[in-house]
């Protein structure tokens, strides 16, 4: 009956009640014990109030998705009970402060345990202030699940160190009282237990945005300009927090136009440059995107999607911008689009985006979303391998090479070459004084409307895509080759789709999962090869129109047998995917 290290816990409350810090604290304590963690956050577009939650999944095995089925709900407000009590499984429990008033009819008392805990009372009695009720709650949670309190204590020491020993001691006393309450009164009849692994391996728990930044900075990114917009802002916040350590210059700008144009300016001058935004800000950047394409300036743009259109769902997840980023901007110019699906893919995208942008001298858009901005995953530290991060600058002419050039040598910034890539020198050297422009130009960079020159320049710019196509990350296949069902997705649905694939196979439904990472230039050959073998294909996306499905059709003629689309602002859980797939192919679950 007792189940160890396999639990889903949701903590909910109003903004400002400490849901996030409580969740983050518990995640850290579990990770220290050697458990794999998946941490999902959900909040609203407001500073105070509203309904927010932090959902933690813990396991002894690698996990890449959250579950719809909860074993524990920690309610800091009554809305948490109303909204989420039904997600609890038989035998699950709700921990709440004894003073919390909620409609008992929202809870199936025969199925779920109600644990009224004296959280505020403990905090007040022990520390003289009920502000530490959250700490008491974490103590109760650890007490009920039997998780060793020393791990909680370590987290408290680390988190409150800045606030002084008195605060640390008070929190320690509160967590101990909470722990005793949980262990003494409710541990015996609660079946889900947590315990540290023997010789716990220390792993990393982080978001994809954090991992992206680590890859980017390791590839030499040293300039990041941005205008704040959720959920893209976590990028420039990371870069700013690490600016001192890595000599990064970050610049908050007056708008997104300025953000991308400053990045283009800095990139033109020779610094690897980044901007980050979300859909609305990206719309503002589109004219400059074409300028980067035309002037062949390598710049990386993180577009963290959220629910659209217009202001849409500012803090909710969606994948509505795949076609927009592929087609953004008037006129035709080459670009790269990557859509990492998890922490490690984001780390790789961090350095790959800068390398490919510079090698092919074109903008690279990295498409992420709310999920990848805030969701925490566990990775093995050795999988984040900095030794494989190589700086590849392509046809970059160094200062030393320029020094060696003869006086007769004429630098042609936009030289027509077989690969389309023109050797790039940065301004500041007497042997490479040049102009570039968003107007059509000749090889020297001067404006022209001469038809043959126009055609030669257009051809050479677009030709670069053929080289880039050889270097993009190919889609991955998870599951058996000869499956009856093939699920197809891109971006942040990766984790849920992967775990759903495993569940379906375990249930005897032979399924595999084809996941796109890089989407432009589109991996057409791989798509065609998949469709040549696949028996029944279903695309799964978080948008209304099925943008990946349409892209596949446009680029290859391949049409999936079914489409699963979601646009309610919420991410797919593994169970959501399983249920939707069964419905799509008429299998009763």
Binding residues vs other proteins (CB under 8 A): 31, 202-206, 210, 214, 217-220, 222-223, 225, 242-243, 245-247, 249, 251, 253-255, 257-258, 261-273, 287-288, 291, 295, 381, 384, 386, 389, 391, 393, 426-430, 432-439, 444-447
Cα separation, 260 vs 328, in Å, equals 14
Residue 220 CB, nearest distance to other proteins (Å)?
4
DSSP string, 40-83: EEE--SSSSEEEEEEEEEEESS---S--S-EEEEEESSHHHHHH
Three-state secondary-structure class, residue 570 = coil
Rg, Å, the chain Cα set: 26
Residue 46 CB, nearest distance to other proteins (Å)?
27
Cα separation, 390 vs 368, in Å, equals 23
Cα angle value 51/544/377 (rounded, 5°): 50
Looking at the Cβ atoms of 407 and 481, the one nearer to other proteins is 407
Looking at the Cβ atoms of 286 and 512, the one nearer to other proteins is 286
Looking at the Cβ atoms of 57 and 222, the one nearer to other proteins is 222
What are the CA-CA distances from residue 60 to residues 219, 275, 320, 549 (Å)?
A: 33, 38, 35, 36
Cα angle value 35/39/45 (rounded, 5°): 165
The set of residues, in sequence order, having a beta carbon less than 8 Å from that of 10 and lying 6+ positions away, is 53, 54, 55, 56, 70, 72, 73, 74, 80, 84, 87
Residue 211 CB, nearest distance to other proteins (Å)?
9
> 346, 209 in Cβ contact below 8 A?
yes
Looking at the Cβ atoms of 10 and 28, the one nearer to other proteins is 28
Place of tokens 């789709």: 497
Looking at the Cβ atoms of 72 and 362, the one nearer to other proteins is 362
Looking at the Cβ atoms of 257 and 503, the one nearer to other proteins is 257
Residue 265 CB, nearest distance to other proteins (Å)?
2
Residue 205 CB, nearest distance to other proteins (Å)?
6
Looking at the Cβ atoms of 124 and 393, the one nearer to other proteins is 393
Residue 574 CB, nearest distance to other proteins (Å)?
24
Looking at the Cβ atoms of 180 and 412, the one nearer to other proteins is 412
Residue 162 CB, nearest distance to other proteins (Å)?
15
Looking at the Cβ atoms of 438 and 569, the one nearer to other proteins is 438
Nearest to 415 by CA among 397, 398, 391: 397
Residue 213 CB, nearest distance to other proteins (Å)?
9
The set of residues, in sequence order, having a beta carbon less than 8 Å from that of 406 and lying 6+ positions away, is none
Locate all alpha helices (DSSP H) within 186-295, ordered by sequence: 208-218, 233-241, 243-246, 256-268, 279-295
Looking at the Cβ atoms of 330 and 474, the one nearer to other proteins is 330
Instruction: Determine how many CB atoms are found less than 10 A away from the CB of residue 68.
Output: 16
> 70, 93 in Cβ contact below 8 A?
no
**Residue 369 tokens, joined:** 């979303």
Residue 426 CB, nearest distance to other proteins (Å)?
7
Residue 14 CB, nearest distance to other proteins (Å)?
28
What are the CA-CA distances from residue 308 to residues 280, 305, 456 (Å)?
A: 8, 8, 39
């Amino acid at each position: 009956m007792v189940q160890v290290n396999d639990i889903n816990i949701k903590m909910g409350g109003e903004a400002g009640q400490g849901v996030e810090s409580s969740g983050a604290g518990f995640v850290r304590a579990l990770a220290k014990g050697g458990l794999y963690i998946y941490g999902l956050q959900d909040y609203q577009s407001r500073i105070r109030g509203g309904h927010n939650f932090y959902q933690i999944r813990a396991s002894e095995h690698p996990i890449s998705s959250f579950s719809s089925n909860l074993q524990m709900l920690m309610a800091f407000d009554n809305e948490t009970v109303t909204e989420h009590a039904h997600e609890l499984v038989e035998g699950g429990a709700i921990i709440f402060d004894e003073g919390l008033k909620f409609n008992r009819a929202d809870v199936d008392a025969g199925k779920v345990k109600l644990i009224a805990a004296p959280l505020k009372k403990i905090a007040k009695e022990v520390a003289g202030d009920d502000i530490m009720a959250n700490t008491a709650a974490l103590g109760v949670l650890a007490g009920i699940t039997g998780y060793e309190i020393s791990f909680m204590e370590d987290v408290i020491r680390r988190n409150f160190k800045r606030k002084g020993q008195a605060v640390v001691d008070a929190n320690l006393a509160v967590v101990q009282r909470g722990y005793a309450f949980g262990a003494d009164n409710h541990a015996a009849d609660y079946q889900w237990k947590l315990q540290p692994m023997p010789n716990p391996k220390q792993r990393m728990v982080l978001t994809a945005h954090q991992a992206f930044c680590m890859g980017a900075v390791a590839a030499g990114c040293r300039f990041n300009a941005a205008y704040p917009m959720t959920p893209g802002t976590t990028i420039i916040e990371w870069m700013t927090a690490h600016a001192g350590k890595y000599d990064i210059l970050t610049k908050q700008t007056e708008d997104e136009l300025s953000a991308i144009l400053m990045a283009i300016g800095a990139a033109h001058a020779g610094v690897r440059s980044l901007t980050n935004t979300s859909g609305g800000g990206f719309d503002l950047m589109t004219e400059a995107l074409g300028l980067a394409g035309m002037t062949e300036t390598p710049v990386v743009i993180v577009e963290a999607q959220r629910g659209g259109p217009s202001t849409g769902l500012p803090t909710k997840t969606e994948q509505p911008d795949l076609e927009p980023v592929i087609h953004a901007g008037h006129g035709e110019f080459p670009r790269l689009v990557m859509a990492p699906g998890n922490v490690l893919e984001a780390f790789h995208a961090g350095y790959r985006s800068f390398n490919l942008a510079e090698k092919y001298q074109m903008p690279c858009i990295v498409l992420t979303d709310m999920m990848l901005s805030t969701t925490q995953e566990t990775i093995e530290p050795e999988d984040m391998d900095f030794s494989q991060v190589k700086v590849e600058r392509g046809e970059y002419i160094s200062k030393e090479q320029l020094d060696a050039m003869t006086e007769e040598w004429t630098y042609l910034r936009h030289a027509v070459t077989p690969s389309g890539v023109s050797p790039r020198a940065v301004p500041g050297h007497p042997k490479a004084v040049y102009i570039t422009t968003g107007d059509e130009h000749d090889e020297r960079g001067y404006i022209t409307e001469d038809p043959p020159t126009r055609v030669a320049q257009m051809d050479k710019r677009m030709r670069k895509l053929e080289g880039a196509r050889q270097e993009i990350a190919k889609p991955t296949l998870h599951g058996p080759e000869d499956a009856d069902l093939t699920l197809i997705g891109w971006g942040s649905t990766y984790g849920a789709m992967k775990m759903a694939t495993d569940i379906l196979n375990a249930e005897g439904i032979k399924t595999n999962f084809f996941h796109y990472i890089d989407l432009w230039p589109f991996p057409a050959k791989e798509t065609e090869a998949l469709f040549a073998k696949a028996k029944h294909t279903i695309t799964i996306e978080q948008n209304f129109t099925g943008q990946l499905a349409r892209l596949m059709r446009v680029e290859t003629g391949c049409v999936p047998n079914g489409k699963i689309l979601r646009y309610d602002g919420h991410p797919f859980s593994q169970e959501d995917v399983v249920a939707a797939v069964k419905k799509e192919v008429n299998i009763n679950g």
